[in-house]
């Protein structure tokens, strides 16, 4: 079987790695890796690919940034050319970025079977481009590999035939489990700091909203040091807030690599974020997570895991941080099948 993987951003590579490895172990598939180039990431070096144990992409489309329509159209054109050349028996797409839906639509038109890894997740918020990508991809994919039970429930509610849906667990956790022993060791003393990340447009593109968040972080940083690896767009927006500066305890740093960040997560007292993947990782690590979003497409991290949605309520954020500092942190569990073997289950189904 000839399988073509389409990825477009660094988190997609974390997801493709265990699936690629599991298929390679079966020695029955020829695999082709396509990077659309949707996101440029300076950390995607030779070391990055060696750490994940995947080859460098066979095709790099170099699409780059643009409006959603421009980017999706360019990915569709580039992906169509590759698929016509490679003639795969199956295309696997990952997550919820523009590359995911673009490749799925191309395959639907070319009648090439498609599998969606991380299917069924829903925030029920159509203002999020990722939600549109998730819904459309699941409508045209032939194999829907869900990371959690709520994914199956969402797809059943939408009328997806059950024979298309496969509950396999979370491939991101596969990568975390494998690389956790190699995670960055050079961190402050465990439990002596908090960790923060912000990148969603709803939080950082509105100066008034970003100002409120930074003010709240400054207050929390009076009680515990906060390490804040700053996304480039976030840093640019912060520089425009001339009337507010980070407090001494709010330590801004450049973005760090996956292994370094994993080490920081593991040893943090708690994490403040608006990232979907970090909600999952902190749940597995048992680290309290305060998510600065009104909703999440990963509700299992709240119902089972260590995640709390605080929305845009900065008083709630400060209150929950204070509770953690007082030893009253939420203690969660690990969702079913988040055991490091999701990639093997996917390979078994495809075999």
Q: What is the pLDDT of residues 79-101, one digit of tens each?
A: 999 999 999 999 999 999 999 99
Q: Beta strand 90-94 with 114-117: parallel, antiparallel or unpaired?
A: parallel
Q: What is the pLDDT of residue 47?
A: 66
| Interatomic CA distance for residues 279 and 308, integer angstroms | 9
Give pLDDT, residue 316: 98
Calculate the average pLDDT of the chain: 94
Q: What pLDDT does residue 249 have?
A: 97
According to the model, what pLDDT value does residue 19 have?
A: 97
| Short-list 143, 56, 139, CA closest to 91 | 143
> What is the dihedral angle through the alpha carbons of 164, 168, 170, 172, rounded to the nearest 10 degrees?
-90
pLDDT in tens, 1-36: 999 999 998 889 999 999 999 999 998 889 999 999
How much is the pLDDT for 234? 87
Task: Output the pLDDT for position 93.
Answer: 98
Active site residues: 199
Q: pLDDT > 70: what percent of the chain?
A: 97
Region 256-268 average pLDDT: 93
Contact call for residues 348 and 145 (beta carbons, < 8 A): no
* pLDDT reported for residue 43: 59
Angle between helices 207-220 and 314-325 (to 10 degrees): 20
* Residues present in the chain in total: 351
pLDDT tens digits for range 205-251: 999 999 999 999 999 999 999 999 998 878 888 888 878 889 999 99
Structure tokens at 351: 């075999």
Helix (H, G, I), strand (E, B) or coil at 293: coil
| pLDDT score for 201 | 87
The predicted structure's pLDDT at residue 44: 55
Structure tokens at 168: 């396999």
- Domains of the chain, start order: 2-170+338-350 (3.40.50.2000), 181-325 (3.40.50.2000)
Dig out the tokens for 210 from the structure: 């970003």
Other Cβ atoms closer than 10 A to 177 = 16
pLDDT in the model for residue 49: 79
Three-class DSSP labels, 295-326 = CCCCCHHHHCCCEEECCCCHHHHHHHHHHHHC
- pLDDT mean over 166-190: 96
| Distant-in-sequence, close-in-space partners of 125: CB < 8 Å, separation ≥ 6 | 131, 294, 295
pLDDT in tens, 28-61: 889 999 999 876 665 555 667 787 888 889 999 9
Residue 261 CA from chain centroid, whole number: 14
Determine the pLDDT at residue 92: 98
pLDDT at 111 over 90: yes
How high is the pLDDT of residue 143? 98
pLDDT tier for residue 176 given thresholds of 50, 70 and 90: very high
pLDDT at 31: 97
């Amino acid at each position: 079987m000839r399988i073509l993987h389409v990825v477009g951003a660094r988190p997609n590579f974390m997801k493709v790695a265990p699936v690629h490895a599991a298929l390679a172990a079966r020695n029955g598939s020829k695999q082709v890796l396509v990077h659309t180039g949707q996101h440029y990431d300076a950390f995607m070096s030779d070391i990055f690919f060696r750490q994940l144990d995947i080859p460098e992409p066979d095709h790099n489309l170099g699409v780059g940034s643009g409006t959603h329509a421009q980017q999706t159209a360019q990915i569709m054109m580039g992906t169509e050319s590759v698929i016509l050349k490679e003639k795969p028996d199956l295309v696997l797409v990952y997550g919820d970025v523009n590359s995911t839906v673009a490749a799925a639509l191309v395959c639907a038109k070319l009648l090439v079977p498609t599998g969606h890894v991380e299917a069924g997740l829903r925030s029920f918020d159509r203002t999020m481009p990722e939600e549109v990508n998730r819904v459309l991809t699941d409508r045209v994919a032939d194999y829907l590999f869900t990371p959690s039970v709520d994914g199956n429930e969402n797809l059943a509610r939408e009328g997806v035939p059950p024979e298309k849906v496969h509950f396999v667990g979370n491939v991101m956790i596969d990568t975390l489990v494998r690389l956790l022993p190699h995670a960055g060791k050079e961190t402050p003393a465990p439990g002596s700091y908090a960790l923060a990340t912000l990148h969603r447009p709803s939080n950082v593109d509105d100066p008034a909203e970003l100002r409120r968040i930074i003010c709240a972080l400054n207050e929390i940083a009076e009680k515990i040091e906060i390490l804040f690896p700053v996304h480039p767009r976030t840093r640019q927006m912060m520089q425009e807030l001339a009337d507010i500066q980070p407090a001494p305890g709010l330590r801004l740093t450049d973005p760090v690599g996956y292994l370094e960040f994993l080490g920081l997560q593991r040893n943090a007292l708690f994490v403040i974020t608006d990232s979907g993947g970090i909600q999952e990782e902190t749940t597995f690590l048992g680290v309290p997570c305060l998510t600065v979003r009104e909703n999440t497409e990963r509700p299992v991290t709240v119902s089972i895991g260590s995640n709390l949605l605080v929305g845009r309520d900065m008083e709630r954020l400060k209150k929950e941080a204070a509770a953690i500092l007082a030893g009253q942190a939420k203690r969660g569990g690990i969702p079913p099948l988040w055991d490091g073997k999701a990639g093997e289950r996917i390979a078994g189904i495809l075999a």
